[in-house]
Structure 1
Amino acid sequence: MKKLGLVGGISWSSTLDYYRLLNEGINQQLGGLNFAECIIYSVNFNHFQQFNADYDWDATYELLYNAAENLKKSGAEAIVLCANTAHIVADRIEEQIGLPLIHITTATANAVRQKGLKKIGLLGTSYTMELDFYKDKLIEGGLEPLIPEKSEDRDYIEDILRNELSRGIINPETKKNYLKIIQELIDRGAEGIILGCTEIPLLIKQEDVSVPVFDTIQIHVDAAIAFSVSKHNTISIS
């Protein structure tokens, strides 16, 4: 089993899910008392949010690269950035770190294609929805991403992620509003919905939505497990 290095804390609540799902998944694969070999470096979420708010991607890179470098020095054999928005600097980190980086968007695009879907709704932070780093990876994978049309809806999603879900707060009224935005994407032709922030699955489940939902935490964890138990040191993209 290969040792995974998890860059967490973005946010702590979703990092808990990463840790739980990794251990459950490894145990399902290997049985007995086998669980994940992993190291977690939890960054200060306030720093991450502030750098992003300032569009200071160099500072975001330094924060996450330093975490990844510490994980490498501690024996990690691959890096897992435990947040969708963190992947804005993922390619840059992978170029410098000298380890495989298990990319959440690549894994998600693969999962959507395996369902035979093309037009896909995308919810996430304002950076994930509005900047190109995430959508471009989906387009490269042959998909057609759709985001909420109204800026106020995108702002609402971001506000909830920052002030509720990142703190582990689950509000029934928030769920109702998220589902309304999701339905508008479906009405525009979305054949499935990517929950493109690792906190959103805390609120929205498959049973809440009439089309396939893609939980990016679970998809990312599955890719990390596949790498960890593989005999090879390369990441499968099939």
Structure 2
Amino acid sequence: MRKLGLIGGMSWLSTRTYYEHINKLVQARAGQRASAPLLIESLDFSDLARLSTAEEWAHAAEVLADIAKRLEAAGATALIIGANSMHKVYDKVAAAVSIPIIHIAECVAARLETNGVKKAALIGTRNVMIESFYRQKLIQRDIELLPPEMQFVETLDRIIYDELLLGKASRQAERELKTILTNLQQDGAQAVVLGCTELEMIVDVDANVLPIYDCTRIHAEAAVDWIMGEH
């Protein structure tokens, strides 16, 4: 098995989810005693949450690029960034190392395309929903994305940062998510992309009004393809 590097801590709950998904998948493919060869550097997310200015994002890119270089030097053969929003600085981080970084949105876009989804909705933090760095990966595969509705953007951003990143999953948040998903179905979405790892805390991925594409699960599957030499 090939060694994978994970840039984590954004949040630590997300890193835990990646670790669990990856190891369960490796176990399913390589046997009950198997576990994934992983290098993890988990950073302090309090310095990188809710970034807004160009200077803040430039700092984030430097922090992640430094981690990527350390993981490469420690023997990682490929990397993943365990946060959707941090893929905004993907290009700068990828340029800092000579090993591949598996892009979460490209994995999700490929899965949507394979399954014949033509029209989808993307939900997550404000920057994932509104900015082009994530959306363009899906649009490049001829997948039409519903335009972000600002009331949903505000609601989701609040739930993610004020509740989920603190480990809270309230019944009220579950109800609000269900309402959003119902509205997206009525607007013509064939599927919904969970563009935030922590959203699976309040969304039943396997039983919903619409097919749910859990970005973390899909990203972890691509990571395991790499680990097993199938990527």
Q: TM-score, normalised by structure 2?
A: 0.95
Contact 1:123 1:147 survives alignment (8 Å): no
SS of the residue 2:65 aligns to = helix
How far off is 1:66 after superposition? 1.4
What is the identity, as a one-letter code, of the residue corresponding to 2:204?
K
Contact 1:148 1:185 survives alignment (8 Å): no
Deviations 1:51-70 (A, max 9, x none): x1334321110111111112
What is the identity, as a one-letter code, of the residue corresponding to 2:184?
L
Distance in structure 1 (CA, Å) of the matches to 2:195 and 2:124: 5
What is the identity, as a one-letter code, of the residue corresponding to 1:199?
E
How far off is 1:40 after superposition? 0.8
How far off is 1:95 after superposition? 2.1
How far off is 1:35 after superposition? 0.8
Q: Does 1:178 align with 2:177?
A: yes
Unaligned runs of 5+ in 1: none
Q: TM-score, normalised by structure 1?
A: 0.92
The 5 Å alignment of 1:1-238 reads 1-49=1-49, 52-55=51-54, 56-149=56-149, 151-230=150-229, 236=231
Distance in structure 2 (CA, Å) of the matches to 1:199 and 1:78: 23
How many residue pairs match? The answer is 230
What is the identity, as a one-letter code, of the residue corresponding to 2:115?
K
How far off is 1:176 after superposition? 0.5
Deviations 1:188-235 (A, max 9, x none): 11000000011111210134422210001100000000011116xxxx
Unaligned runs of 5+ in 2: none
Distance in structure 2 (CA, Å) of the matches to 1:180 and 1:2: 42
Distance in structure 2 (CA, Å) of the matches to 1:179 and 1:32: 36
Contact 2:69 2:96 survives alignment (8 Å): no
Distance in structure 1 (CA, Å) of the matches to 2:206 and 2:17: 19
SS of the residue 1:189 aligns to = coil
155-164 or 215-224, larger mean C-alpha shift:
155-164
How far off is 1:92 after superposition? 2.0
How far off is 1:162 after superposition? 0.7
What is the identity, as a one-letter code, of the residue corresponding to 1:127?
N
Contact 2:5 2:78 survives alignment (8 Å): yes
Contact 1:147 1:185 survives alignment (8 Å): no
How far off is 1:32 after superposition? 4.0
Distance in structure 1 (CA, Å) of the matches to 2:32 and 2:175: 41
CA RMSD of superposed structures (Å): 1.3
